[in-house]
Structure 1
Amino acid sequence: MSADGVIQLTRNSPPPVPAIFNTMVFRALNRTLAESLPAELMATHRLMGTENDRQQGARFVERRLGAIPDRDRIILTHSTQSALQMLLLDVVGSARPLAVEQLSYSPVRSFAARYGISVVDVAIDGDGLNPDAFSETCQRKRPIALYLMSTYQTPTTVSMSLGRRQEIAEIARRYQVRLIEDDIYSLLAESPLRPVSSLVPELSWYLLGTSKSISTGLKLAFVVAPNVAEAARVFWPGHGATYWMASPMSAALMSELVSSGADLAILAAVKDELAARHRLVVSGLNGKPLASDPGCLHVWIPLEGASSSEIAAALLADGVQVGVSTSYAGDGWTPPEAIRFGIGNPEKRSVLEQAISRVCRALP
Structure 2
Amino acid sequence: MPATLWLRRVDRGGGPIYLAILRALEAAIADGELQAGEQLPPQRAVAAALGVDFTTVTRAYAAARARGLVEGAVGRGTYVAGRAAEDEAGLVDLSMNLPPPPKGLNLGKLLKETAGAVLDRTDPQALMAYHPPGGSLAQRAAGAVWLAPGQGEVSPDRVVVTPGAQAALAAILAMLARRGDAVIVEPLTFPGVRSVAALLGLRLVACPVDDEGFDPESLARLCAEHAPRAIYCIPTHQNPTAATMGEGRRREIAAVARAAKVPIIEDDAYGRLPSTPLPAIAAFAPELVWRLATTAKALSPGLRIAYVAAPDLAAAQRLAEALRATTLMPAPLGAAIVTAWIREGTADKVLAAVRAEAVERQALARQILPAAQGSPEAIHIWLDTPDHWPGERLRDTAQSRGLSLVTADAFATTPGTRAGLRISLGGPTKQSVLAQALRGVAAILSGEPAGRMVV
Q: TM-score, normalised by structure 2?
A: 0.76
Match for residue 300 of structure 1?
Answer: 382
Aligned mates of 2:99, 2:89 — CA distance in 1: 22
Aligned mates of 1:26, 1:237 — CA distance in 2: 33
Name the stretch that deviates more: 228-237 or 98-107.
Answer: 228-237
* Residues 213-232 of structure 1 mapped to structure 2, 5 A cutoff: 213-232=298-317
From 363, 387, 392, give the equivalent of 1:279: 363
- The alpha-carbon distance between structure 1 residues 231 and 11, as it changes in their structure 2 partners (threshold 3 A), is same
Deviations 1:309-355 (A, max 9, x none): 13332212111111111211124x12122111100011111211110
From 403, 415, 420, give the equivalent of 1:320: 403
Asked whether the equivalents of residues 308 and 339 of structure 1 are also in contact (C-alpha less than 8 Å), the reply is no
- The alpha-carbon distance between structure 1 residues 27 and 297, as it changes in their structure 2 partners (threshold 3 A), is same
Partner amino acid, structure 1, of 2:136: T
From 337, 344, 353, give the equivalent of 1:253: 337
Asked whether the equivalents of residues 24 and 266 of structure 1 are also in contact (C-alpha less than 8 Å), the reply is no
Aligned: 1:311 with 2:394: yes
Aligned: 1:50 with 2:142: no
From 133, 138, 142, give the equivalent of 2:218: 133
- The alpha-carbon distance between structure 1 residues 321 and 257, as it changes in their structure 2 partners (threshold 3 A), is same
Aligned mates of 2:153, 2:293 — CA distance in 1: 14
From 206, 215, 226, give the equivalent of 1:121: 206
Structure with bigger RCO (C-alpha 8 Å, 6+ apart) = 1
Give the CA deviation at 1:2: 6.7
Aligned mates of 1:47, 1:326 — CA distance in 2: 36
Match for residue 244 of structure 2?
Answer: 159
Tell me the matched-pair count. Answer: 359
Asked whether the equivalents of residues 172 and 319 of structure 2 are also in contact (C-alpha less than 8 Å), the reply is yes
Deviations 1:96-133 (A, max 9, x none): 31111111111211211111112211111111111111
Which of the pair has more CA radius of gyration? 2
Asked whether the equivalents of residues 184 and 206 of structure 2 are also in contact (C-alpha less than 8 Å), the reply is yes
The alignment-based identity, stated in percent, is 31
Deviations 1:208-230 (A, max 9, x none): 00111101101110011100011
Give the CA deviation at 1:20: 4.1
Match for residue 262 of structure 1?
Answer: 346
Deviations 1:212-254 (A, max 9, x none): 1101101110011100011112321541x31152110011111
Where 1:13 maps in the other structure, the secondary structure is: coil
From 102, 110, 115, give the equivalent of 2:195: 110
Unaligned runs of 5+ in 1: none
- The alpha-carbon distance between structure 1 residues 244 and 272, as it changes in their structure 2 partners (threshold 3 A), is farther
Partner amino acid, structure 1, of 2:408: S
Aligned: 1:149 with 2:231: no
Asked whether the equivalents of residues 182 and 207 of structure 1 are also in contact (C-alpha less than 8 Å), the reply is yes
Aligned mates of 1:25, 1:144 — CA distance in 2: 40
Asked whether the equivalents of residues 322 and 341 of structure 1 are also in contact (C-alpha less than 8 Å), the reply is yes
Aligned: 1:40 with 2:126: yes
Name the stretch that deviates more: 207-216 or 44-53.
Answer: 44-53
Name the stretch that deviates more: 56-65 or 93-102.
Answer: 93-102
Aligned mates of 1:244, 1:122 — CA distance in 2: 34
Aligned mates of 2:87, 2:198 — CA distance in 1: 30
Computed over aligned residues only, the root mean square deviation of the Cα atoms, in angstroms, reads 1.6
From 58, 61, 69, give the equivalent of 2:147: 61
Aligned: 1:329 with 2:412: yes
Give the CA deviation at 1:45: 2.8
Aligned mates of 1:231, 1:102 — CA distance in 2: 29
Deviations 1:276-328 (A, max 9, x none): 1112212223x3x1101221111111124432413332212111111111211
Aligned: 1:21 with 2:107: yes
Asked whether the equivalents of residues 142 and 342 of structure 2 are also in contact (C-alpha less than 8 Å), the reply is yes
Deviations 1:119-154 (A, max 9, x none): 211111111111111011011111121010000001
- The alpha-carbon distance between structure 1 residues 2 and 203, as it changes in their structure 2 partners (threshold 3 A), is farther
Asked whether the equivalents of residues 180 and 201 of structure 2 are also in contact (C-alpha less than 8 Å), the reply is no
Aligned mates of 2:155, 2:99 — CA distance in 1: 29
